[in-house]
Amino acid sequence: MSYVICEYDKVKQNFPEFKRTMENLATTLRAKCAADWSPKTFGGLTPTSGQFGETTILPALFRDDTQVAALAGFMPTWEQWLNVLGHRTIMQGSSGAGGIIPEDYKVGLAGIAFLDKAIRVSEIKMQISDKKMPRINIEEALAYNKPAIIFENGYILDEETGFDLNAYVTTRGPQRIKLLGLQMNRVPNRLQVTNTGATLL
C-alpha cells in the first residue's frame, strides 16, 4: 500500500501523479461496471436508457459512527461528530449491519481528505471486503492545512461488499473526512429523482 500525504488544496499542482491515478482508476472501474452490468454501457455524467452513469463519491453511500447517522442509515454530508475516543469505525458502507456498499453502486477510491484544520485522529486503517490494509499514521498531517492521503493505486469498493474506515480518535468534536475518487451508478434515475441530502437507496 503506497501513498503520499499532501495538502488537499494543492493536490493537482504538487502531485501530478494524482491525475494518472484517477485516470487508471476510472478506466478500471468503467471496465468492471461494463462487465458486471452488461449489456449497459458507460454514459458518463448524463447517461440515457441502457447506460450506467458516473458521479463524484456521494456521502449517502456511507454512514458514520454517530447515533443520528446510524439511525438514518446514511451520511447526508461528509461532516460527522466524533464522540468516543480510541479505536473506532468512523465510516462504513450504509447498507445492512455489516457496513456494505449498496447494490447498484461501485466506488473508485483514490484518497482520503481531512477538510478541517483540527485533525482529531492519529491513525487510520481501511478494510475492503476481507482485505485489511496496513495502518497509516497521519500525525505528520497535522502540519498541513486540509491534509489528504493519496493512494498510488486506487481501490475499488464493489457493490454489496464491506467497507470500513477505522481510526484512532484523539479528541472529540466535528470532523469532515471526504473520500476522493469517483462513483458509478447502475440506475442513474436514483440520483436524478432524489432531493439533495436524501438517501439513494
The pLDDT tens digits for 28-52 are 999 999 999 999 999 998 898 899 9
Q: How confident is the model at residue 196 (pLDDT cuts 50, 70, 90)?
A: low
Specify the number of domains making up the chain. Answer: 1
Average pLDDT over residues 77-88: 91
Residue 191 lies in a domain: no
Residue 127 lies in a domain: yes
Average pLDDT over residues 152-168: 94
Backbone angles phi, psi at 57, to 5 degrees: -70, 125
pLDDT of residue 15: 66
> If you average pLDDT over every residue of the chain, what do you get?
86
Contact 93, 157 (CB under 8 A): yes
Residue 190 lies in a domain: no
Among 123, 124, 87, residue whose Cα is nearest residue 109: 124
Residue 196 lies in a domain: no
pLDDT at 70 over 50: no
How far CA 59 is from CA of 6, 37, 200, in Å, comes to 22, 23, 10
Residue 192 lies in a domain: no
Average pLDDT over residues 160-165: 95
Question: Which residues, at least 6 apart from 73, have a Cβ–Cβ distance to it below 8 Å?
Answer: 63, 94, 199, 201
Residue 32 lies in a domain: yes
In this predicted model, which residue has the larger pLDDT, 41 or 201?
41
Residue 19 lies in a domain: yes
How far CA 160 is from CA of 71, 100, 122, in Å, comes to 20, 5, 29
Q: How far apart are CA 138 and CA 173, in angstroms?
A: 18
Q: How far apart are CA 55 and CA 75, in angstroms?
A: 17
pLDDT of residue 69: 46
Instruction: Of 6-10, 60-64, 166-170, give the range with the top mean pLDDT.
Output: 166-170
The residue whose grid cell reads 436514483 is 190
Domain that holds residue 176: 3-184
pTM of the predicted protein model: 0.89
Residue 37 lies in a domain: yes
Average pLDDT over residues 93-103: 86
Q: How confident is the model at residue 141 (pLDDT cuts 50, 70, 90)?
A: confident
